[in-house]
Amino acid sequence: SLSSCESTRGSTGSSMDLSLLALLDRFVGWVFEKLASIPRGIFNPDNRLYWVFLLSALILAAISYRRYHPSSGLFPIKAFLRFVFPKKVYLHPSAIIDYKIYISYRFISPFVVGPVIEVVSSAWVASYTNSLLTTAVTQWQGLPVTLEVVIAFTIVYALLSDFLTYVNHRLHHETRLLWPIHRVHHSAEVLTPITLFRKHPLYNVVRQLISAPVIGLFQGLVIFAFLGKIDPVTILGINAVSALFRIFSANLHHTHIWFSFGPLLNHIFISPAHHQIHHSARPEHWNRNYGEVFALWDWMFGTLILPSEEIRKNLIFGLGSGKPQYHSTLAEAYLEPLKSMYEVVKQYCKPSRLAS
């Protein structure tokens, strides 16, 4: 009957409305969860913005301030805070783009970087490597785990990881196809700790494709060698080398605050001053200081520039004088690299003319 049809139709419509409301409710909840996770990062040791790392950066900044702004008497707190958080830096249009990229990336990464990590993960490669070795060597009893072995594993793992970071970073600078992805990061005209996250999603995709197989192979060999009984030395629950890097250096890398480790250590470790030179807009500083933790790779492969007072006094950030600002909006930061990469691919695929 007509009434029953209307009743059924009304029931279906109501069900659909409830379903749409449920989806909308889940989406809104997901958005709020992502936004809430941003400030929670200061309580997570895995996050570079963990409060201990921020506090240590503030202490290093105080040392730098006292060196370059000597004064007698008590430490000038207000002047120091103005030095650390200048409005011209943190309210600069470039910094505003940093903040937008940081927030938006929290939503984008699960759909762009997440699937790659699931398919090409170091854990999967490690498990597969260990499985192959276990099948091939059935009577293996494993090596003994000593303190020396644990310390060596911690250091070797940190060196390998950092070397892969150097390789990935250098490839993005010196490969025409990959440079547009990384140019998003280098188009920053001022540096803040949030500039670390000023990355195109494809940057971390490429990084994962490069590092996961090698790290996974290394982990698989170690798991097999010690029957999975070995763990790295940790500080605050993370790799000790990584923790020390974050305590003594990391959060000043993307700032205007100059901090150098001195002539000897500058050949071994990447200081904030090293990385600020890497962001220099001056051509003589381009494609240098690729390392993240260790300066050894730059030293070995001829890409190291040591910090100096002359560089400090003349340092400016960005892509270079007269260069266009490719990423003045959030949309440009995400879309311009794709367009530039397409142009590079199109140029490579263009058929060459045969000599007549």
Looking at residue 324, its pLDDT comes to: 86
Structure tokens, 269: 């470790």
Contact 173, 294 (CB under 8 A): no
pLDDT score, position 38: 66
Walk along the chain (356 residues) and give the pLDDT tens digit of each residue.
Answer: 444 444 444 445 555 566 777 776 676 666 666 666 666 668 788 888 899 999 999 999 999 999 999 886 788 999 999 999 999 999 999 999 999 999 998 888 888 887 788 678 899 999 999 999 999 998 888 999 999 999 999 999 999 999 999 999 999 999 999 999 999 999 999 999 999 999 999 999 999 999 999 999 999 999 999 998 888 999 988 899 999 999 999 999 999 999 999 999 999 999 999 999 999 999 999 999 999 999 999 999 999 999 999 999 999 999 987 788 899 999 999 999 999 999 999 988 876 554 43
Spatial CA neighbour of 308 closest among 269, 275, 273? 273
Please give the pLDDT value at position 31. Answer: 64
Distance between CA atoms of residues 255 and 193, nearest Å: 6
pLDDT value for 16: 54
How far is residue 179's CA from residue 203's CA, in Å, rounded to a whole number?
A: 10
Measured between its terminal Cα atoms, the distance across the chain in Å is: 82
Q: In the prediction, which pLDDT does 4 show?
A: 44
pTM of the model: 0.86
User: Could you tell me the CA-to-CA distances from 10 to 17, 23, 184 in Å, in that order?
Assistant: 10, 20, 52
pLDDT at 116: 82
The string of DSSP codes covering 32-91 is: HHHHHHHHHGGG-TTSTT-HHHHHHHHHHHHHHHHHHS--SSS--HHHHHHHHS-HHHHT
3-state class of 234 per DSSP? strand
Angle of helix 201-226 versus helix 147-174 axis, rounded to 10: 150
Structure confidence at residue 349 (pLDDT): 86
Closest CA to 101 of 216, 200, 229: 200
- Give the CA distances from residue 315 to residues 52, 200, 208, 283, in Å, rounded to whole numbers and listed in that order: 29, 25, 32, 12
- Residue 17: its pLDDT value, please? 61
